[in-house]
Amino acid sequence: MAEPIRTCIGCRRKDSRDRLVRLVWDAAVGGVVIDRLRVLPGRGASVHADGACLEKALQRRALGRALRVATPSADQVRQAWQDAGLS
């Protein structure tokens, strides 16, 4: 069976899902959360586990489009990214 492929919303390259981090909008939190275990419900966005890809996604405002929410606060997303142990 082929491994699952996702497109990084930062660099827009396709890659194995295992190399991408899933981000979801958490309405209760009012922000983006990092779904490392890929268990959270709702629409997700995939980004390489690489801060450079996250920054590209933020600059392109791709996250809000992918999650279909108003553009999330870049600072909030960066904080969630760091809290998840990503850099």
**Which DSSP string do the residues of 23-72 spell out, in sequence order?**
EEEETTTTEEEEETTS---S-EEEEESSHHHHHHHHHTTHHHHHHTSSPP
Determine which residue in the list 34, 49, 53, 67 makes contact with Zn ion, applying CB under 5 A.
53
When the beta carbons of 29 and 52 are compared against Zn ion, the nearer one is 52
Question: Which of the stretches 24-32, 33-41, 49-57, 61-69 binds Zn ion when contact is defined by CB under 5 A?
Answer: 49-57
Measured between alpha carbons, how far is 4 from 33 in angstroms, rounded to an integer? 21
Which one of 6, 21, 25, 48 is in contact with Zn ion (CB under 5 A)? 48
Nearer to Zn ion, 56 or 72 (CB): 56
> Which 6-25 residues touch Zn ion, going by CB under 5 A?
8, 10-11
